[in-house]
Structures are given as structure tokens and as C-alpha cells.
A and B are shown apart, each in its own frame.
Chain A
Amino acid sequence: MEKIRYSLLGIFEEVGKLSSFTGRFFGAAFSRPFEWKELIRQCYEIGYKSLFLVLATGFIMGLVLTLQLRPTMIDFGASAYMPDMVSIAFVREIGPVVTALICAGKIGSGIGAELGSMKVTEQIDAMEVSGTNPFKFLVVTRVWACIIMIPLLVIAADAVGMLGSYFIESTRGEVTLALYFNRAFHAMAVGDLVPATIKTFFFGLVIGIVGCYKGYFSSKGTAGVGSAANSAVVISSLLLFLVDFIAVLAADIFYAI
């Protein structure tokens, strides 16, 4: 009982600290001096590091989804609706969530470990004394880079996912790439695209903030660095699902009105 109370308190404390860290980010995110060069470098790093993984996963998800849907669609005599089905599934849910989870694993843990080791080896202190605000240089740039790059990676994942789906379809039936994508885009409505895109910005925010928070406050020693990377992945994965749920709920309410 005591143990449960203790860990509950721990969770609340963590939520509080994470919120105040997020507040600190927004406090510094729009003010000068802005570290443009570092932002561009981070965007490149983050995009480049995970692009291949995201593309490969997206493509395979497209293949698998189509293979598994096919029998049922044929049973219902709806196999012509495959592009509609896959595009909506990808754009609304699969693309954003799968990409975000992969990025939480790849980018979030990378940021956690990098900032953690900079903290432990006093590099963050060294920045502070040389007149550069380390929060702006390290945290603000990385979080912005995530907010910018995650949505782009999601779009890339959606595109190759549908390509994968087309690949399966083309081996089974008479469908051209143009026709497939034509149907796919036709099926999508603003109601699919807008909320799905908005939530990816929040996914980026979550991945960036949690990775930075864990690294920036990592405890001393190399064990601290490892646990910073590890807990960055765990916490951001959990939060991603929470944000996803809230986003879907909000979109639902919004469009119901």
C-alpha cells in the first residue's frame, strides 16, 4: 500500500516536472537569439537518421495491411475499395502512430542519451559559462526539429504505405498506379487530413520534450545516461497513445457538431 502511494506520488511529481519543462520550452521557443544553424543541423540529423527506418516500416505495413484485408474485402465484394480503405487507415492512424513510435525509439532515445551524456560530462555547464543558453541551444532546437520533422516523416510513411498496398494490388489485379492513387486521394476528405496532420505536430512535441527532459535532468554517472535514454522511450510511447486518443476524441467531437 505504502509502495503504491509512493509510486503514485512519483508519477505526479514527474508529470509536474514534465509540464514545467514544457512551459519552459514555450517560454524560450519564440524568443531571440534563435539558434538557426543548430536547428537546421538537428532537422537534418533527425530526418536523416530515421528516414530509412520509417520508409521501410511504412512500406511493409502497406503490404501487410493489404494482404490481410484482401480476403475479407473480397467476401464483401468490396475489393475495389481497397485504395479507399488503405489510404484512410494510413492517413488517419497507422502512418502517424507507427512513425511516431519508431521515432520515439530512435530519436527520443538518441536525444535522451546525447543530452544525458553532455550533462554528465559537464558539457552543458561549459555552454552555460561561455554565454550560450544551453536550454535554447540544445533543447529548443531539438524540440522544434522534432515538431517540424515528425509530420514530414509521417507523410513519407503514408506515401510508401500506399505504395506497398498498390504493389500487392498490382500483382493480384488490373490496377495502375495512377488509378490506385486517384481512388485513394478521392476517398480522403478534409476531415481525415486536417486532424491527422495536426496531431503529428503534437507527436513531434512529445518526442522532443520527453527526450530532452530526460537527458537534461539525467542523474550523474553512465547508468544515468542509459536510464535517461530508456525512460525517454517508455514515457514518450505512453504519452503518444494518450495524445492520439485525445486527438481522435477531439476530432470526433469537432466534426459531430
Chain B
Amino acid sequence: MMEANEHSSGQKPLIEIRELTKSFGNNQVLCGFNLQLFPGENVVILGKSGSGKSVLIKCLIRLMEPDSGEITILGKSVIHLDQKTLDQVRTEVGFLFQGSALYDSMTVRENLRFPLRRHPERKRGQEEEELIHQTLRSVGLEDAIDLMPAELSGGMKRRVALARTLILRPKIILYDEPTTGLDPITSNEIIQLILQLQKELGTTSLIITHDMDCARVISNRVIILFDGINYAEGTYDELSRSQDPKVRAFFKDINERLHG
């Protein structure tokens, strides 16, 4: 509710998506999705698996070309950008991939160095090394610096991936299912880490998930992706009290678990 006031207070959204559509052949995945992400918010997009969540955020940073619609990030219309400006926008938008997507032929150090190599204000030598150490320290994995990704557990991989995303100090971070494939305890650790880093760095986040625990803890606002559109929107509490059967379906399992 507080967020609703913030919006009306005239702040400009960092990300705005209007009427986004995307289909693969006959498979219409997105058919008119809308979204606004305001500074400092944690917005969760909830959707069943296969509902097009990954497609949505990949269209957002042009890893996929949307069929139609408007996308504005930090005031720039992303659809029409040339490669150079697009790369600039991408340094401001971090992306945490679903399966961590660490480069498995590189050590943790090289993984973290990779996004820095094309950065316009690249630091070198000692300074770069210091930045890598400091970023790894912030996710609690400084010791792993010389390990290969294959030597890391699922939770550690997710932390390294988070560090690799944070190292460019993005204003916005997109999380694609940050807790998938992790056990509940590790999931919770990752969620707490995300919240803590968020507080320290003041980033704005768009989190995509079907994990209700994650949605409950992290979100200021939840958008439900259903049938390719932003089907319902509100705070977690508001939506959990919704009478709409499709919205209730999301909360059914967790309400049963919490209330017996």
C-alpha cells in the first residue's frame, strides 16, 4: 500500500513495460504484459513454470527480441537501441540467471573478472583484484576465489553468480528464480543475502519466481503472470486474501501449510 502512494508521488519508473507480446510459432507466451518498476522496490513476478517468466525478463534486456510492445529502462527505449548503448544499459542492469550460468571453464576469479573486461571505466591490476576480493567477501565466499565452478555446491554457485552480477554495481537487478534447485535452508540464506545486499547497495529488484516463501519475504509488490498478461497485482498480503480463484491457486498450498 505504501508503494501505491510512492507511485502517485510522481516518481519515474526505472523500468516500464507496455503491452509486451512474444510468441514462438503457435505458442503465444506473452500477450500484452505491463509492468512498472520504481526505485527501491522489490517486485516479484509470480507465475507457474512454463508461463513465460524467463521469456519476459529475457525480452527486457534483449536476450530475446519481443514481437511488439514498448520497453523503457532508465528512460531509454530498449527496443531501438544500437549495440553500444544497449551494452551501456546492460551494465546498469544485473541479471542473475536461473542456473547461475557460471562460466565453467574459468575459475571463480576469472568469472568475476569477465564482466569487468569490457567495462568503460575498467580498473586494472591491484585495484581490480581488490574489487574482486571485496565483492566475493560481500557474498561470504572469499575463500573460493581459486576454485572452479564444478567444485562449488549449488548454493555457493548462486552466491558467486550474485557476486558476478554485483561487481558492476548495477542500479537494477533481475533475478530469474534465485532459489530454484536449492534446498529450503540454502534458499533462505540466498534470500537473506539478497535482502542484505539490497539494503547496503540500494538496488532495485525484479524477482521472478514460483517459490511462495521467496515471494513473501522479498516482495514489496507482487505481479501475477497468468495467460501471458499481468493478471493481478498487489502486495503479498493483499493477493493472499484475494477471492479470485486463479490467484488463490497460487496461495493455496502455502496457506494450507501455514494455517493447517
Interface residues of chain A, those whose CB is within 8 Å of chain B, are: 33, 114, 117-118, 121-123, 125-132
A131–B90 CA distance with the chains assembled, in angstroms: 7
Chain A: minimal CB distance from B135 (Å)? 14
- B58 with A125: CB separation less than 8 A: yes
Closest Cβ neighbor of B97 among chain A residues: A122
B97 and A125 form a contact (CB under 8 A): yes
Which residues from A are CB-within-8-Å of B105?
Answer: 114
Apart from the given pairs A118-B104, A132-B117, 13 other A-B contacts in the complex at a CB distance below 8 Å: A33-B118, A121-B99, A121-B104, A122-B97, A123-B101, A125-B58, A125-B97, A126-B97, A126-B101, A127-B114, A129-B63, A130-B114, A132-B118
Instruction: Check A122–B101 contact: CB distance below 8 A.
Output: yes
Closest residue of chain A to B114 (Cβ to Cβ) is A130
**Is B65 interfacial (CB 8 A cutoff)?**
no
Chain B neighbourhood of A123, CB < 8 A: 101-104
Mark each residue of chain B from 145 to 185: 1 if its CB lies under 8 Å from any CB of chain A, else 0.
00000000000000000000000100000000000000000
Nearest CB of A to B61, in Å: 6
Interface membership of B137, Cβ < 8 A? no
Q: List 20 A-B contacts (CB under 8 A).
A: A33-B118, A118-B103, A121-B99, A122-B97, A123-B101, A123-B102, A123-B103, A126-B97, A126-B101, A128-B63, A129-B61, A129-B90, A129-B95, A130-B90, A130-B115, A130-B118, A131-B87, A131-B115, A131-B119, A132-B117
Min Cβ gap B248→A in Å is: 32
> Which among B63, B115, B117 is the interface contact of A125 at CB below 8 angstroms?
B63
CB B168 to nearest CB in A, in angstroms, measures: 8
Instruction: Please name all residues of chain A whose beta carbon is closer than 8 Å to the beta carbon of B87 when the two chains form the complex.
Output: 131
- Known A-B contacts A130-B118, A131-B118, A132-B118; the reply to A122 vs B90 at CB < 8 A is no
